Amino acid sequence: MLLLPARLTHDLAAPSVVALGALLAGETGAEVVADASALQDFDSSALAVLLACRRQVLAAGKVFSVRGMPDRLRQLAGLYGVQDLLPAA
């Protein structure tokens, strides 16, 4: 499981992708779940981070889903038209 931090804004997006990518290398199951329940201070960059993780997971032949996505992030995903790319776990 990938745990997203409480704060995920533009300035933290690139380092978060790197850190989460390193964690992905250790994931052995067929499905990878990103846990977004800790997110409190975020912007649309959080979607970019989730989508980057999704790309890496799918490239590894695994299934990707998101757990605990805050309502505001779900609304942003709908606004940007990416909600179907980030299925609920």
CATH number at residue 28: 3.30.750.24
Vertex 15, ends 12 and 21: CA angle to 5°? 130
User: Cα separation of 35 and 76, whole Å?
Assistant: 17
pLDDT of residue 21: 86
Domain carrying residue 6: 2-85
Question: What pLDDT score was predicted for residue 24?
Answer: 86
Q: Considering its fold, how many domains does the chain have in total?
A: 1
pLDDT of residue 44: 96
How buried is 71 (Cβ within 10 angstroms: 0-12 exposed, 13-18 middle, 19+ buried)?
A: exposed
pLDDT tens per residue across all 89 residues of the chain: 999 999 999 999 999 999 998 888 888 889 999 999 999 999 999 999 999 999 999 999 999 999 999 999 999 999 999 999 999 99
What local confidence, expressed as pLDDT, does residue 71 receive? Answer: 97
Res 27: pLDDT = 83
